[in-house]
Amino acid sequence: MRTERSFPAVQVTKKQEARLRAGHPWVYDTEITSGAGEIANGSLVDVMNQKNHYLGTGLWSEQSRIRIRLLSANANEVFDDAFFARRTEYALAYREKVMGEDFTSCRLIHGEADGLPGVTVDRYGDILAAEVLSYGMEQRKTVIYDALISGLGKRGVTVRGIYERNEGALRQKEGLPLEKGWYVHGAAVPEQTVFPITENGIRYMVDVENGQKTGFFLDQKYNRLTVRKMAAGMRVLDCCTHTGAFALNAAAGGAAAVTAVDISRRALDLAAENAALNGFNDIQFVEADVFAYLEEQLQKHAAYDLIILDPPAFTKSRRTFARASSGYQRLNALAMRILPRGGYLVTCSCSHFMHTEDFLEMLQRAAGDAGVGLRLVEERHASPDHPVMLGIDETDYLKFFLLQIV
């Protein structure tokens, strides 16, 4: 039985009801049929079906197309500070269990997958990097940050600082300002914003202020080990290397030669610093557009045994999906043409709009363009600190395929 309380309520369409019952937590503005009158931005609101039966409670956003982000379908839930602190502790306990010794550098909160919609927090030792993309959660972030500091403290970790990277375009859609900087929580904040971490036995310098996303791509943690396992004796080309993580794992795996390519000079400088930090002095770093570079390598008949393609997301909306798919196809076909029979291709997509079946179909078209066959060696996704929630397609965003050219 539903507890009596004073939250405003809205009714939604049968289509939206079906999505909620299937586990997806977003209510779109176009699916609300009644009750959306004077509701304070960021406040709690009950969601009802057309028969006025309770579906759940979420946070209201008056500017976003995602008008409500559901928090719970438990009619007796109390959405006080203890609720958000409890959700945060659940997230910490999950990472501590599934990440083991890798708990020192991992994602601690993964938005909707942890029941904390629009919130991302990564851990780099005793430094946290955070992003908040939801208006309602922006109002409640202090409770979450305090719970993280307290929860890690109970685990013997004193958080030195929380750096906020609130620069995502979704904040503007939520009516939130774009900003970045240290979150002040009572302790003196660090003076620097670049910190060392160790992942898979390799040391990196992570720039929480200027690095992409929150400073480092933690989701490829175990996929990089797959490259290390394959790389012995190989000539490796790492495209879109960013700060060099795949390239360094290839070097650590005993690659005969490693070339790392990126269009960003700043990223390459940090990648070179990471290589030097680990004593990998033979990696060649190249500043270039990846398409132009692969075309050049094809014309030169360059010899590689393993090519890694880990580009940024080519599409961030359904409208640009066809163009993005064409871009992925061209990129992969170029790599397939360069590789010899028996060579290996690692190819990735981090766009949730590019579903796994779409990505596989694109790879088959690329293979047709290149006139080669493909053997699937291994399929992987994000590491378990980036959990996938069944029913929320957006959480299953990272695709990683290891293929052999045959």
**401 SS3 class:** strand
Q: Which residue has the tokens 């989701």?
A: 219
Identify the active-site residue in 106, 239, 348, 350.
Answer: 350
**Angstrom distances, CA of residue 89 to CA of 56, 59, 73, 214:** 22, 20, 20, 21
Residues 228/248, Cβ–Cβ less than 8 Å: no
**What is the sign of the dihedral through the CA atoms of 99, 242, 333 and 406?**
negative
Strand partners, 380: 400
State phi, psi for 6 to the nearest 5 degrees. Answer: -105, 15
350 is catalytic: yes
Distance CA 105, CA 122 (A): 7
Distance CA 16, CA 39 (A): 20
**216 SS3 class:** coil
Closest of 398, 401, 393, 391 to residue 22, by C-alpha: 391
DSSP H or E stretch at residue 238? strand 235-239
Q: Which residues are catalytic?
A: 350
